[in-house]
């Protein structure tokens, strides 16, 4: 064992020496920040399939990046689109085929770890540590915390860096404000009041929708039951849950394994069987626009979604279409209804990390690639990408607040604040805390700031944030990045639509299958690693 350790250590030293010598040779080819010889890299970009959007790989903002990288670093950039809603599956296929972009981004770290174990991912550590003087923008933005988040405590490898979740938000519960007023209802503050509100919507469909009464949907959700019902489900988690439990069971980002979760799913089952939930929610896959169109048309009373979802996308979004199709008073407002056993509107939010950025082993230009990450992380560059051109996509108010403008055509943003291009940060950052808050509230063209301010406050009210437990690789997670979420989504759907008498058996059977498939092995290994490093 001792001999094996020595040989492994010598191998690591040799690999590091080769990497560093290669870095030195590469840096010798850079003069004043520019490569002497032009380099070329490819970069993954999410394709959201937005109606009225631009080509994600070829538009005004990609041109800005391409020109800047060629000017500042003599690096040609080509963007490679990947469908947003199936990005894990598509990225898996690209990695397996050796055809992944040089700069990849995903929300699934297990996907990265799987290919790293097969030699399909570059160790970023030597390129990050060996080029700090060239990467001031990246280091200023992410700091040691996010850059070293995934660093193996024993081997020192970094398979991916973590983007900064600058505005740490998650989910909100939205209800039709105009329907509340029309029915003389107060804004719901408890689970019971929320349920009674849904029943009132259902029972007054004729009054609220007239000739379209048969299209009434008191509460809408989607196939992603865990994400789209977060506030309700988490309210059943006891306040006494420990940090150890949160780590051991927290690999599923929908909190599926948290104690009490099943009771939240049972409540959804009750709503479904009472006719309060959209009957056909399970029929539509990721990226389908049926639900959005139904909400825009004014048929939906309430739903949970990303914290600012109804206010996004300007004239193409829910808020604008609702007001055009229904009337100027039609709007969704964020509400807070679901208290836990301690009477707290508890939210469980992640640590300040977001997407994971990594380089596949097919990347022949890792130095050019880290320079790309540095370029988009510089304040002046990411600020332009987030707010665009003065007078076109935003206005500057007297106090310096940025007010974005809804645009169409070449300069439209396909994602909020162009987060698909600012892959090292998610959330508006203008370099000033006060301006950030005021600008976020004004950052939705055609939406009264009161809606945004309320949603912004509620989504992180009484939150508990995740922590980084750096325990090295959890080997049981390998290959589970897509398998377990699919298992989870399927059995949660089945549990919601089951007959009440069948709920327990359907849920328990589905959960056991999830655990048998690999979930239990991950739990066991996480518990051992936590106890090894933190107890």
pLDDT tens across 101-118, in order? 999 999 999 899 999 999
pLDDT tens across 356-384, in order? 999 999 999 999 999 999 999 999 999 99
Is the Cβ–Cβ distance between 51 and 290 less than 8 Å? no
Tokens of 216: 């009434």
Q: Which of 335, 301, 324 is nearest to 208 (CA)?
A: 301
Q: State residue 23's pLDDT score.
A: 53
Between CA 69 and CA 376 the distance in angstroms is 9
pLDDT tens across 63-76, in order? 999 999 999 999 99
Between CA 331 and CA 335 the distance in angstroms is 13
pLDDT at 387 over 90: yes
Q: Which of 81, 10, 86, 76 is nearest to 37 (CA)?
A: 76
- The secondary structure of 4-55 as a DSSP string is HHHHHHHHHHHHHHHHHHHHHHHHTTEETTEESS-EEEEEEEEE---TT---
- Domain 171-349+466-534 fold is D-Maltodextrin-Binding Protein; domain 2 (3.40.190)
Is the Cβ–Cβ distance between 101 and 43 less than 8 Å? yes
- Residue 107 CA: distances (Å) to CA of 54, 88, 91, 301, 473: 23, 8, 11, 31, 17
Q: State residue 529's pLDDT score.
A: 95
pLDDT tens across 33-61, in order? 999 999 999 999 999 988 889 999 999 99
Q: Which of 131, 48, 144, 145 is nearest to 87 (CA)?
A: 48
Query: Residue 106 forms beta bridges with which residues?
Result: 356
H/E element holding 404?
A: strand 402-404
Q: Which of 322, 343, 354 is nearest to 451 (CA)?
A: 322
pLDDT tens across 287-327, in order? 899 999 999 999 999 999 999 999 998 888 999 999 999 99
Is the Cβ–Cβ distance between 302 and 177 less than 8 Å? no
pLDDT at 157 over 50: yes
Is the Cβ–Cβ distance between 322 and 309 less than 8 Å? no
Other CB atoms within 10 Å distance of the CB of residue 362: 17
Domain boundaries, the chain: 29-167+355-383, 171-349+466-534
- Residue 238 CA: distances (Å) to CA of 81, 324, 379, 504: 42, 43, 41, 20
How many CA atoms, within 13 angstroms, populate the side-chain half-sphere of residue 254? Answer: 20
pLDDT tens across 462-494, in order? 999 988 898 988 999 998 988 999 999 999 999
Q: Write down the CATH superfamily of domain 29-167+355-383.
A: Periplasmic binding protein-like II (3.40.190.10)
- Band (pLDDT 50/70/90 cuts) for residue 2 is very low
Q: Which of 108, 51, 112, 43 is nearest to 82 (CA)?
A: 43
| Sequence-distant contacts of 435-439: CB under 8 A, at least 24 apart | 435/400, 435/401, 435/402, 436/167, 438/399, 438/401, 439/401, 439/402, 439/403
Q: State residue 27's pLDDT score.
A: 61
In angstroms, what is the C-alpha Rg of the chain? 24
Helix (H, G, I), strand (E, B) or coil at 57: coil
How many CA atoms, within 13 angstroms, populate the side-chain half-sphere of residue 84? Answer: 15
Among 103-112, 333-342, 498-507, the range scoring the smallest mean pLDDT is: 103-112
Q: State residue 433's pLDDT score.
A: 86
29-167+355-383 with 171-349+466-534: one CATH topology? yes
pLDDT at 332 over 60: yes
């Amino acid at each position: 064992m001792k001999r094996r350790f020595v040989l492994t250590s010598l191998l690591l030293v040799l690999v590091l020496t080769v990497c560093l010598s290669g870095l030195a040779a590469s840096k010798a080819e850079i003069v004043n920040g520019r490569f002497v010889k032009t380099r070329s890299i490819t970069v993954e970009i999410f394709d959201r399939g937005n109606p009225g959007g631009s080509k994600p790989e070829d538009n005004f903002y990609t041109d800005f990046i391409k020109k800047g990288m060629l000017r500042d670093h003599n690096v040609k950039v080509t963007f490679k689109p990947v469908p947003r809603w199936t990005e894990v599956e598509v990225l898996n296929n690209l990695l397996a085929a050796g055809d992944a972009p040089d700069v990849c981004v995903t929300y699934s770290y297990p996907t990265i770890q799987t290919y790293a174990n097969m030699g399909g991912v570059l160790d970023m550590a030597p390129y990050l540590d060996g080029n700090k003087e060239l990467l001031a923008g990246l280091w200023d933005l992410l700091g040691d915390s996010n850059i070293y988040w995934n660093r193996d405590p024993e081997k020192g490898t970094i398979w991916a860096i973590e983007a900064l979740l600058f505005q740490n938000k998650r989910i909100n519960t939205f209800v039709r404000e105009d329907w509340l007023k029309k029915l003389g209802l107060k804004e719901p503050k408890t689970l019971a009041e929320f349920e009674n509100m849904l029943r009132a919507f259902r029972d007054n469909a004729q009054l609220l929708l007239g000739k379209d009464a048969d299209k009434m949907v008191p509460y809408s959700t989607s196939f992603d039951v865990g994400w789209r019902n977060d506030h309700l489900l988490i309210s059943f988690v006891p306040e006494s849950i420990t940090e150890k439990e949160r780590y051991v069971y927290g690999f599923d980002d929908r909190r599926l394994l948290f104690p009490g979760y099943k009771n939240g799913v049972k409540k959804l089952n009750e709503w479904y069987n009472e006719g309060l939930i959209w009957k056909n929610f399970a029929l539509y896959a990721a990226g389908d626009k049926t639900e959005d169109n139904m909400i825009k048309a004014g048929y939906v009373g309430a739903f949970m979604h990303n914290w600012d979802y109804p206010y996004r996308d300007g004239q193409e979004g829910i808020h604008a279409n609702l007001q055009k199709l229904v009337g100027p008073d039609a709007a969704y407002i964020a509400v807070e209804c679901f208290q836990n056993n301690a009477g707290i509107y508890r939210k469980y939010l992640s640590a300040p990390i977001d997407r994971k950025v990594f380089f596949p082993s097919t990347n022949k230009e890792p130095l050019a690639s880290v320079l790309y990450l540095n370029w988009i992380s510089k304040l002046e560059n990411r600020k332009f990408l987030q707010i665009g051109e003065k007078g076109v996509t935003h206005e500057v108010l007297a106090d310096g607040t940025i007010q974005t403008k809804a645009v169409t055509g070449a300069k439209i943003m396909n994602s909020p604040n162009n987060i698909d291009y600012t892959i090292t940060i998610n959330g508006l950052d203008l370099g000033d805390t006060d301006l950030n808050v005021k600008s976020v509230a004004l950052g939705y063209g055609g939406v009264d700031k009161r809606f945004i301010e309320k949603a912004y406050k509620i989504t992180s009210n009484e939150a508990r944030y995740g922590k980084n437990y750096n325990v090295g690789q959890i080997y049981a997670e390998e290959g589970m990045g897509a398998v377990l979420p699919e298992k989870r989504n399927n059995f949660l759907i089945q549990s919601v639509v089951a007959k009440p008498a069948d709920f327990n058996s359907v849920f328990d059977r589905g959960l056991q299958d999830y655990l048998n498939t690999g979930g239990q092995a991950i739990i066991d290994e996480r518990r051992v690693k936590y106890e090894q490093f933190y107890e």
